[in-house]
């Protein structure tokens, strides 16, 4: 084994493996743990920026984004039998929850008949391992003019 410029070299068959020697001080360990924790939180939140930029071949993206025109009066997205996926999302700059009901009429309180109470940046996916929801989607908010993002994959 020989050392060169702070690196160690070890022969492994026909390859030479290089690695940096680094002392694992408590500060270095804490930095790695903080980075791992931050990445875990980012992935757990399902950041929308992690979504693929383009759908698979044969799938088209259809925007169903709109606004709750009158607070307390639900708007709906019609049932789509050819739906292959999608989501409904409350914008990150929202100051109130967005209520989602699958198959019923969404109201502006938590619990039944709502299926989701989305905070800012919250999202409900319309598909998963069990299949894709094909029925109507009802969306409601407490105040007028509340925007939401809805995307269908067809």
Structure token pair of residue 25: 């001080």
CB-CB contact of 55 with 153 (8 Å)? yes
Q: What's the rounded Cα separation, in Å, for the pair 13 and 124?
A: 51
| More confidently predicted of 84 and 17 | 84
Q: What is the DSSP string of 7-62?
A: EEEEEETTEEEEEE-----HHHHHHHHHHHHHHHHHHHTT-GGGS-SSPPTT--EE
| More confidently predicted of 59 and 123 | 123
Find tokens 């995307």 and name the residue: 151
pLDDT interval class at 69 (50, 70, 90): very high
Question: What pTM, to 2 d.p., does this model score?
Answer: 0.61
Q: Quick one: average pLDDT of 106-118?
A: 86
Residue 7's pLDDT is 47
What is the overall mean pLDDT for the chain?
78
User: What radius of gyration do the chain's Cα atoms show?
Assistant: 24
pLDDT at 10 over 70: no
Q: Quick one: average pLDDT of 4-27?
A: 51
Residue 45's pLDDT is 66
Alpha-carbon separation of residue 34 from 28, 30, 39, 43, 119 (angstroms): 10, 6, 9, 14, 26
Residue among 143, 129, 133 at smallest CA distance from 90 = 143
Q: Poorest-confidence range of 63-72, 91-100, 104-113? A: 104-113
Q: What is the domain partition of the chain in residue ranges?
A: 2-44, 61-153
pLDDT at 32 over 60: yes
Sequence-separated (6 or more) residues with CB below 8 Å from residue 137: 76, 77, 88, 100, 101, 102, 126, 150
Q: What's the rounded Cα separation, in Å, for the pair 67 and 75?
A: 8
Residue 46's pLDDT is 59
pLDDT at 17 over 50: no
Residue 120's pLDDT is 92
Question: What tens digit of pLDDT does each residue of 122-150 get?
Answer: 999 888 667 888 889 999 999 999 999 99
The domain made up of 61-153 has a fold known as Jelly Rolls (2.60.120)
């Amino acid at each position: 084994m020989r050392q060169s410029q702070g690196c160690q070299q070890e022969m492994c068959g026909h390859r030479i493996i290089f690695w940096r020697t680094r002392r694992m001080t408590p500060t270095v360990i804490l930095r790695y743990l903080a980075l791992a924790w931050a990445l875990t939180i980012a992935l757990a939140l399902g950041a929308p920026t992690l979504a693929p930029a383009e759908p698979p071949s044969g799938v088209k993206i259809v925007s169903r984004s709109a606004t709750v025109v009158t607070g307390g009066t639900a708007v709906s997205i019609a049932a789509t039998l050819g739906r292959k996926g999608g989501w409904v999302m409350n914008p990150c700059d929202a100051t109130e929850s967005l209520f989602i009901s699958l198959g019923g009429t969404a109201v502006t309180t938590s619990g039944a008949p709502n299926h989701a109470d989305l905070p800012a940046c919250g999202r409900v996916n319309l598909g998963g391992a069990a299949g894709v929801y094909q029925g109507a989607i009802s969306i409601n908010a407490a105040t007028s003019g509340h925007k939401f993002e809805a995307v269908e994959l067809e």
